[in-house]
Amino acid sequence: MDPQLQILPYPLAYLPPPGTILHNTMNSLPEGFLVCDGALLDRTEYSVLFQMIGTFYGSGDGVTTFQLPTIPMNVPYEYIIRYILQVLPTPEDPENVASFLYLEEGSDVNLEGITDLKLN
């Protein structure tokens, strides 16, 4: 692992973007994350993550798969990578809202009912 790479601890106070690697302080794999164990993933099924990291950690079969980073771990789930763009609120967990939103140029957005919005 690159000694100058900064890896923040999980959980965070916000949802990080796909491709973010975190040091997991929990004893389980959080929703929306994968273990940094060098696994090969399908480029279509994990298209958001593939768009973010591409073949940086390995090209997989060169056509349909790509590779997750391989980070040595002392305990299961120690290093994790975010693979989904956002987690939407559900009836079971209405407080679970995304802290960011990705929009393509020209997208229409309805901000009706939004009371706290910060644009970067």
Domains of the chain listed by start with CATH number: 8-82 (3.90.1340.10)
What distance in Å separates the CA atoms of residue 108 and residue 106, rounded to the nearest whole number?
A: 6
> Concatenated DSSP letters for 79-119?
EEEE-SS----BTTBTT---S-----TT-----TT------
What distance in Å separates the CA atoms of residue 84 and residue 87, rounded to the nearest whole number?
A: 8
Confidence of residue 120 (pLDDT cuts 50, 70, 90): very low
- What is the rounded average pLDDT of the residues 65-92? 84
What distance in Å separates the CA atoms of residue 115 and residue 60, rounded to the nearest whole number?
A: 44
Confidence of residue 100 (pLDDT cuts 50, 70, 90): very low
Regarding predicted confidence, which is higher, 63 or 116? Answer: 63
The pTM assigned to this predicted structure is: 0.68
- pLDDT confidence of residue 110: 56
What distance in Å separates the CA atoms of residue 110 and residue 101, rounded to the nearest whole number?
A: 13
Residue 32: left if φ>0, alpha if ψ -120 to 50, beta else—which one?
A: left
pLDDT (tens digit per residue) in 18-62 = 999 999 999 999 999 999 999 999 999 999 999 999 999 999 999
